[in-house]
Amino acid sequence: MVVRDLGGRREVLLLRAYRNWDLPKGGMEVAETPLQAAMREVREETGLHDLEFLWGEDTIDTEPYSGGKVVRFFVARSAGAQVSLPINPSLGRAEHHEYRWVTFDQAIALTVPRLRRVLQWALVRMDDTAA
């Protein structure tokens, strides 16, 4: 999960594929740690390289969905100035159709319940840990 501070307001980055809003995510490659995979997936899906893990490397996993998939999320801060939706070479197009920086309330309203739980966890995590 990528967040930014914009004029005293905390925002989270959402990606849209078709009708579904989601957080950046993806699978691990061989010999990759979960943190390395998270950083690579954010870079591949958004072009962002400037991730700061100000709240440590704590994670939260989603409950199983879509055939048993489980996604592990970290929280990272980015300046978010240069978001892009790069072409995925294996697809021949970008994985997502749109991105938006939104407030956490907006993100909770746009996402499915398994992600709402992740967003709420991140809010608590950020508020409990001074950055």
130: confidence class by pLDDT, cuts 50, 70, 90: low
Query: pLDDT above 70 covers what percent of the chain?
Result: 98
Number of independent structural domains in the chain: 1
d(CA 10, CA 77): 10
| Domain boundaries, position 75 | 2-128
Residue 7 makes CB contacts below 8 A (sequence gap 6+) with none
Say which CATH number the domain at 24 has: 3.90.79.10
pLDDT greater than 90 at residue 88: no
Q: Which pTM was predicted? A: 0.91
- The per-residue pLDDT for 95 is 87
Strands (E), the chain: 2-6, 9-17, 20-22, 60-61, 72-73, 76-77, 87-88, 93-94, 98-103
Tens digits of residue pLDDT in 41-75: 999 999 999 999 999 999 999 999 988 899 999 99
